[in-house]
A and B are shown apart, each in its own frame.
Chain A
Amino acid sequence: MRGARLARSAAGAAAVLALAAAGCGGGGGSGTAPGVLSASWGDPQNPLEPSNTNEVQGGKVLDMIFRGLKRYNPRTGAAENMLAERIATSDARTFTVTVKAGWRFSNGEPVTARSFVDAWNYGAGLKNNQKNAYFFGYIEGYDKVHPASGTQSADTLSGLKVTGPRTFTVRLGQKFSSFPDTLGYAAFAPLPRAFFDDHAAWLKRPVGNGPYRIESYTRGSEMSLRKWDGYPGPDKARNKGVDLRVYTDSNTAYTDLLAGNVDLVDDVPATQLRNVKADLGDRYINTPAGIIQTIAFPFYDRRWSKPGMEKVRTGLSMAIDREQITRTLFHRTRTPATDWTSPVLGEAGGFSEGLCGAPCAYHPGEARKLVAEGGGLPGGQVKIAYNADTGSHKEWVDAVCNSINNALRNDKACVGNPVGTFADFRNEIGRHKMQGPFRAGWQMDYPLIQNFLQPLYYTGASSNDGRWSDKRFDRLVDRANAESDRPTAVRLFRQAEEVLRDTMAAIPLWYQNGSAGYAQRLTHVALNPFSVPVYNEIRVG
């Protein structure tokens, strides 16, 4: 009897302790200052340097603390002058850049021509291991600073020259008329001297020239950004600051949003898409982003590149019911693709709805006919490779295969081919070891039609993973790049895209949307074409 009482009181004490402590935990809660919003974040994969950040999470921060020569309009995606007063050229190859006066970094240093030139030289340098180094590849002298093998023989790009406190010239290795429009990408951001003088300290707390400054940064868990009152730009922050909190799982972030502990979640997990309308109503955003999913082919494999195979590839494309998959599987967070670019470009920027036409529409009968005419599937079966670790690719690959099997009336025509990890998948693609088609995703670096075509399909281009090559396509891209009249350039790019269609260089599947949800106390929340929230425009309360 007494033993039982003892045990009972012990359990009771534990319960009391638990409740008391839980109460403390709850009270100690979020602790955000008034006017400051909290948002979900993921741990950046790389150190936060502008030319080393190639994923969304690090990109978010750079977008808040940096402004470059150009900025992409968060609504239209058009490249607009930000720090650039003027970028002039007469031959689409040498550009004279004038930097606006009066800009400063948040530590007080002025932004000069040198801030840009030094940053770009640093970004291009092989010894600095910058993952975005290839962005400087257009600039003359890149092969010395970043040779394909061996060590670098120069520290500065010969194509970059500081000609005055606020002016510098850029000479490219070839004609590239839309080069100025690429300068809105974060890799081209200016860097203060503090970056070079004490690199380690800068990485602990990066200093930029954007509307926010970093107040504190605990790596891997939280970053507090506050409005920088001295910001000279036109796009000042409309809130007092943003607290970015690292979430290990987007489901937890979503739960926290429902419980009122976080104000903004910019990645609604796939499992919640069914409830999100009921949970959030019109506080759920689902807008197109500059991301397209495709199926690429290994053209280095004779079986896929021999003449007549374009019919098989087109047949496969016509066997995929994009409409049904995007509706049932993705709850309309994807849009069936009808060209090889993205709707965020807009008609003027090069997006052409329906350019693909019949080859991208679901025609099971036609698909069967074309595959038969082309000599059938290589080996009688296609295996679509994907990485199984992230992004729930399995579901849609299975759905695509299902659709192909139904259309071809052969339940062995298509199977998924999972690869364990993303790194492994990338490794196999990089070594050109793919046995069959594989999933390919492309997130644009800048909203230009050039960015959707050249890096992916130009002969020998950096992301031409299938090693597709077509002289007509290459010629059209070259001509478009040399063309200084924008509408003409876009028209030439479109013609190049038609070459993709006629040979079905890659099967376009769907455009991806950005999805976000936010709390009641926020207004003016929107996602930019990169599916990153436009933080500076958000209003609190």
Chain B
Amino acid sequence: MGRYVVRRLLQMIPVFVGATLLIFLMVNVMGDPVAGLCGEKQCDPATAAQLRREFGLDRPVWQQYLTYMGHVFTGDFGTAFTGQPVTELMGTAFPVTLRLTIVAILFEVVIGIACGVVTGMRRGRPVDTTVLLLTLVVISVPTFVTGLLLQLLLGVRWGWVRPSVSPNAALGELIVPGLVLASVSLAYVTRLTRTSIAENRRSDYVRTAVAKGLPRHRVITRHLLRNSLIPVVTFIGTDIGALMGGAIVTERIFNIHGVGYQLYQGILRQNTQTVVGFVTVLVLVFLIANLLVDLLYAVLDPRIRYA
């Protein structure tokens, strides 16, 4: 187990370097960021040159990348055009998005798995068909439609919640955005759990457990669910990264100042430092989430543990 973890950690290094290099090149190919800084006007050439020098934009890309990575390892992600250190932006953005992601994951886990179990246990019954149809609807409707619709109905028409989230983004305010963000994944989790449960219900160990006379909830939670959760856990694990990076749409709709917002601003203003910095951290989140998923396998299935 220990060797497995070490090997996985070592594998993360080339992935990390490759991913950051790629995003660095992509952002740099977009052109000269300083050109857009002065609004509709032509930037005064002397100031532009000075800014370029200060941000290191006058050097070759490979050199920029090396210096950048060198700084990153000392915890310096550079400075955004607003004069704020990127680490400061991260300090405000990541906690917010993390909270949003947690809300979304909770929805996925609680509602998704619950619905999955219910439908999986009652395949073909009306409850199953209804939930399947609902998930189909959720999957096929784009997030921004769901988001804007919920915002309009709950926020403006009925006035149950505030249509936008305040800067401190308390957990309570994130319920609706979290649900919107989770919606598509939630449907997938339901379907995955349902299939898995339905499949494992007829397996020998479940029949044995039932024959032993174990109480039904024990059969379901201990025997059936534990084995059926492996694909679901994989999905949710990889979804953590996807949710954090993919929150751009949801964050824009509900005015949440998180990672998506910063990334969007960074791309719009061609702010290399912000974009590369945030993506670098997101890559790390992806990698760690994947590692955790693989370790969780071992917890769920002893066969993997001893392999």
Contacts and interface: CB of A to CB of B under 8 A. Distances in A.
A389 interface: yes
B152 interface: yes
A101 to B, nearest CB: 35
Contact of B216 (A3, A11, A46, A222): A3
B84 A219 contact: yes
A422 interface: yes
Interface in B225-274: 251-257, 261-262, 264-265, 268-270
A25 B217 contact: no
Interface of A: 1-4, 6-8, 10-11, 14, 18, 21-26, 28-30, 43-47, 54-55, 126-127, 129-131, 133-134, 146-149, 203, 218-222, 245-249, 251-253, 255-256, 258-259, 261, 389-390, 420-427, 429-430, 440-443, 455, 462-463, 465
Interface string B23-58: 000000011111111111111111101110010000
A442 B216 CA distance: 73
A146 B175 contact: no
A29 B167 CA distance: 11
A47 B88 CA distance: 14
Contact of A6 (B156, B217, B257): B217
B295 interface: no
B32 A423 contact: yes
Given A28-B170, A423-B33, A424-B35, A149 B49 contact: yes
Nearest to B127: A4
B121 A4 contact: yes
Contacts of B31: 421, 423-424, 427
A252 B163 contact: yes
Interface in B203-230: 215-217, 220
**Lowest 4 A-B CB distances belong to which pairs?**
A423-B36, A25-B172, A221-B167, A427-B35
A261 B162 contact: yes
B287 to A, nearest CB: 27
Contact of B51 (A129, A245, A462): A129
A261 B35 contact: no
Given A14-B111, A44-B82, A255-B163, A25 B43 contact: no
Nearest to B106: A14
Given A3-B117, A43-B265, A463-B41, A421 B170 contact: no
B137 interface: no
B139 interface: no
B164 interface: yes
B77 interface: no
Contacts of B176: 22
Contacts of A465: 42
Given A7-B117, A45-B82, A423-B35, A247 B111 contact: no
